[in-house]
Amino acid sequence: MEHEWPLNLFIASAGRGTRLQPVSNRFPKPLLPLAGVVLIERLLHSVQVSLKIHDLAMNLHYQPELFQEWARELQPELPRPTFFYEEELLGTGGAIANARDFFMQGTCLLINGDILTDIDWKAFAEHHRRSGNMVTLAVQDRSRERRVGVDAEGKLLCIDQEMKTPGVHRWLGYACAAIYEPEFLETLPKGESHVPPYWVAAAEQTKRVGTYDIGSSPWIDLGNVASFAEGAFSCLKGSERFFAEPLGIPWDTQISGICVVEKNVVIGSNVELCDTILLPGTHIENGETLSSIVAGPDFRESFSLPATENIPKDGRTILGGSDRVYRHVAEGLLLEYTAVEPMVERQIVLTEILRRNDLPVPQIYSHNPAKRQMLLEDLGDESLRIWCQTHSVEEIAHMLKTVLDLLIDFQWTDTDDSPYPRDKPFDKTVLRWESSYFMERCVYRIFGLKEFCQPRVEALGREFRQLADTVSGFPRNLMHRDFQSSNVMIHQGKPWVIDFQAARHGPCFYDAASMIGDPYLCLPHHLRKELERHYLAIASDRLNMTFGESQQALVLCGMQRHMQALGAYGFLSTIRGKEEFLEFIPPALELLNEEVSCLKIEFPVLNKLVGKLLSLNNE
């Protein structure tokens, strides 16, 4: 529950960030992008999780126009800031005095705009209130920057960088956050000043300057290039890579280690990236090799990460190819998503529609947008993929027929007049993107067949267009878009559908081909044919198609789906660094070859390409 007493927030943002140059020449430290979200927004979200902020203010000096531009595009759930301008830098004390009118309104939390932290802000505020302090400083016991001397009760005694003042019970580091009462303003002069001596003076006079130990909370001062890289990598939350959308990674880019690629980055051909951050506006030239580099539009800065525990390894689970993080908790399954997650609203609406139609999908118990958390019904850990590993062919056949019956119910669900899923048409543009994805991420990147394909590019393009034209012309239903065995859970002996937030209107045969020809399952040929007959007997009747027509539609959609899957396996393994997906390329190729062989007269060039891929794979 949020606290109920007034609290304002002031973010110190005026500094030039000299130690972070040349990065800070382009980006003031509070506006540094960290895996798609600027630092100041990460701070605001962190505070708003537990505190209701009444008013927000910031002091500006360096590149104020960038802050003004940022404020104009601020997300609606974040407070609008009041700016206090400093023609000349006024120092840490002068900044407070210059914003006197703001600080005199009531209790104010001040945070330096160049730190990345996950302090328990509610506990900090409640400690300040209970103590009756005029000022409470956030502190932390760390090996460096220990200069805050306190007594046994945590009251401030001195600030001494050499830690030689007698009578100190404990030395701590200042965590660049403090809570002030208005009366502290009476101690500050106008003009430039630095605040630590006034803390000490107030402590000597009133004994009401205390500290709050933030304990082991992650805390990084983004003061130099190395600590900025440490902070950016810590924001990945268990993943190893972040790539801003729209993705612009050429097929021949070699990626290893931890990498962050922000928006508006251009990457040339034959580039190698390892433990690298590419900031907005960066242009990487052909053939560049970057390792442990922060790159910007006009700089390349190397770094070496300090020994740190700030990159979290907290036992959370990232499922499949997704960047979503799930965690089992007592109340259910906790979904933690990032600030750049685009599908949350769709998931909420589609869940309501599907549950209203009695489809077995997990219930949403609660949603906290500020924390970016959603509490879901916990269906356990047994996916259909895992279930099949411990059951007989007969049992698998029975279960998969039940799953296909469920798919039929899903596909013929009435979505009423909901904007979802009609907002994302599964049209020729998407289908052509899938075939391009297959070429760039699998054919070129995994198999290195760029030169082999060069004289065949136009012919392949014609066949891909022909395939897209045909598939886009099939009857449209609600389609899952990724209906495979990892996205069906077996709970209490029955199948449940998950991960449907990307659902669209498109050909139902695409989902059926995805499940029946799932490379994760590698079903025997006779079982796949049995499942095809089961599904098509129902679908062809509902669509008023002959069995032969629907069977050919299934083959064509299977070609499309398996090209998409091969592109995804190439992307996930070589770009995202999830090399476990490489093992699914051979079975997906076998399935694609089987489908293309049925239509080799219509698709002769694609048939030759898939044959070449198979021969390379079998070498």
pLDDT at 370: 66
> From CA 616, how far away is CA 619, in angstroms rounded?
5
What does the pLDDT average to over 474-500?
96
- Identify the residue with better confidence: 413 or 422: 413
Beta-carbon contacts of residue 471 (< 8 Å; ≥ 6 apart): 431, 507, 510, 556, 557, 560
pLDDT of residue 436: 95
In the predicted model, what is the mean pLDDT of the chain? 91
pLDDT at 234 over 90: no
250 in Cβ contact with 271 (< 8 Å): yes
pLDDT of residue 175: 94
Over range 473-498, report the average pLDDT.
Answer: 96
Asked if residue 2 has pLDDT above 70, the reply is: no
Percent of the chain with pLDDT over 90: 77
**Running DSSP on this structure, what letter comes out for residue 491?**
E
Q: Which residue has the higher pLDDT, 25 or 145?
A: 25
Two structure tokens written together for 48: 């708003």
372 or 40, which is more confident = 40
CATH class entry, domain 384-618: alpha beta
Kindly report, residue by residue over 149-177, the tens digit of the pLDDT: 999 999 999 998 888 899 999 999 999 99
Given a contact cutoff of 8 angstroms between Cβ atoms, the answer to whether 326 and 340 are in contact is no
Q: For position 369, what pLDDT does the model report? A: 76
Residue 145 has pLDDT above 80, yes or no: no
Q: For residue 370, how many other CB atoms are within 10 A of its CB?
A: 15
Structure tokens at 533: 């007959």
Question: What count of other Cβ atoms lies within 10 Å of the Cβ of residue 492?
Answer: 8
Cα separation of 396 and 14, whole Å?
64
232-239 average pLDDT score: 79
How far apart CA 169 and CA 158 sit, in angstroms, is: 11
What's the pLDDT at 237? 66
pLDDT confidence tier of residue 246, bands split at 50, 70 and 90: confident
What is the per-residue burial (b if ≥16 Cβ within 10 Å, else e) of 135-167?
bbbbbbeeeeebbbbbbeebbbbbbeeeeeeee
- What confidence score (pLDDT) does residue 339 get? 60
Express each pLDDT in 322-358 by its tens digit. 567 888 999 999 998 766 667 888 999 999 999 999 9
**Residue type for 19, please?**
R
Strand partners, 373: 336, 368
* Residues forming beta bridges with residue 58, ordered by sequence position: 11, 83
Query: Range with the lowest mean pLDDT among 114-123, 142-151, 481-490, 551-560?
Result: 142-151
3-state secondary structure 260-288: EECCCCEECCCCEEEEEEECCCCEECCCC
Q: Would you state the pLDDT for residue 501?
A: 93
Residue 319 has pLDDT above 60, yes or no: no
Query: Can you tell me the distance from the alpha carbon of 159 to that of 148, in angstroms, rounded to the nearest whole number?
Result: 5
Dist. CA 488–CA 385, nearest whole Å: 8
- Structural domain boundaries in the chain: 8-221, 225-302, 317-376, 384-618
- Kindly report, residue by residue over 260-315, the tens digit of the pLDDT: 999 999 999 999 999 999 999 999 999 999 999 999 999 999 998 765 444 433 44
Range of lowest pLDDT (139-143, 283-287, 382-386, 610-614) = 139-143
Mean pLDDT of 183-198: 94
Predicted confidence at residue 240, as pLDDT, reads: 74
Fill in the DSSP letter of residue 2: -
- H or E element: which one contains 137? strand 135-140
pTM, to two decimals: 0.75
Instruction: Give, for 585, the enclosing helix (H) or strand (E).
Output: helix 585-598
User: Is pLDDT of 433 > 70?
Assistant: yes
Give the residue, 355 or 143, on which the prediction is more confident.
355
- pLDDT of residue 1 exceeding 90, the answer is no
When pLDDT is cut at 50, 70 and 90, the band that residue 129 belongs to is: very high
Per CATH, domain 8-221 is 3.60.110.10: no
